[in-house]
Structure 1
Amino acid sequence: MLNMDDIYLITDMPGYTPQVGRLLSMMNYARHTTLEAVKGLTQEQLDYLLDARSNSIGGLLMHFAAVEYAYQVSTFEDRRLSDEELAEWGAALELGDAGREKLKNFGLDYYLGKLETVRQRTCDLFRTVDDNWLYEQEEFWYGKQANRYFMWFHVFEDEINHRGQIRLIRNRLPGD
């Protein structure tokens, strides 16, 4: 899915309207850097906790997939997650104690598969909308208006923010 020849270009992408394609190219770059940050990690490294209140790298990877999935549901289906979806994604959305309890004992391929599946769905959904869709507004945080462009910017902004945590944790792994 990631075209490594164009990873440093924020540009139009075939099959997408101009702004949607540029947004997706930014999301793809953010994902590329995340994948580089976790390359080669073992299950034990993915589960490592710096302290009793920290998140694991695996938990953060699931958080990325969960946030993206939640924004798919919110922006494309105009609804909240169902109870069934919350059972699957809730711990990853919230992290904290629930994340530490449930998001462990999975290998890197598990997390990468979740990320890929969710991203492929995002790509498919983005093909169904145009640039005007990005600019549609609705109530967002704290009663403020936001457009879908901002909402989807937040999806990869959140990933970039937490990727910093991943790099910090990786630098503190025992034996490294």
Structure 2
Amino acid sequence: MNLDTLYVIDQKDGLGLEFSKLVSMMNYTRYTTTEAVKALTVEELDFLYDEGANSIGMLLAHLAAVEKAYQIETFENRDLTEKELSKLLPGLDLGSLGREQIKGNTIDYYLEQLAETRNTTIETFKTLPDDWLYEQTPFWWERPANNFFKWFHVFEDELSHRGQIRLIKKMLSNRNR
């Protein structure tokens, strides 16, 4: 990611103009998420402020799982298979399943998962025409949504969870005082 153009929403190499705008926003969002977590320890990533909470590690796994699910839904135009769902479910749903299965990982593990998933997204975007972003299909509650909205939701969800991550980090710092 080029930090010199982090705050510029403009043309990106290999992408159409509309994809470039989307990727510019996704890049900024990912950069700020990464900056918020890059120095966390396994203990900090696994910290649960109460028995029903999500950890930072769980939220990072959620970001990767959501993006993978949207890759399947939009790039392959299909629902997740049972096998895919069972693999992604701890990250997608979080909660008790996530608390059981998503722990003990280093920050490098989560950052690698996020990077691999994002690389697949960007490489696929490079193969699609900008018009693809405007293709509509039934979505939540059978209302129409286009692919642009669906991918906006991917990084909008990340922004929301980054806020949670920052709150959890504050709880951690208050606990350590």
For residues 80 and 51 of structure 1, what CA distance do their matches in structure 2 show? 33
Deviations 1:58-99 (A, max 9, x none): 000010001011000000001112222223211100001111
1:97-108 → structure 2 map (5 Å cutoff): 97-108=96-107
Q: CA RMSD of the aligned region, Å?
A: 0.9
For residues 39 and 89 of structure 2, what CA distance do their matches in structure 1 show? 27
- Are residue 152 (structure 1) and residue 136 (structure 2) matched? no
For residues 53 and 16 of structure 1, what CA distance do their matches in structure 2 show? 42
Letter in 1 for 2:159: I
- Are residue 137 (structure 1) and residue 136 (structure 2) matched? yes
Unmatched segments (≥5 aa) in structure 2: none
Determine the structure 2 residue equivalent to 1:65. 64
Cα deviation for residue 45 of structure 1 reads: 0.2
Unmatched segments (≥5 aa) in structure 1: none
Deviations 1:74-131 (A, max 9, x none): 0000111222222321110000111111110101010001000000000111001111
**TM-score (normalised: structure 1):** 0.97
**TM-score (normalised: structure 2):** 0.96
Letter in 1 for 2:131: N
Aligned length: 175
User: Secondary structure of 1:146's match?
Assistant: strand
Determine the structure 2 residue equivalent to 1:36. 35
For residues 14 and 60 of structure 2, what CA distance do their matches in structure 1 show? 27
Determine the structure 2 residue equivalent to 1:175. 176
For residues 77 and 111 of structure 2, what CA distance do their matches in structure 1 show? 27
Determine the structure 2 residue equivalent to 1:91. 90
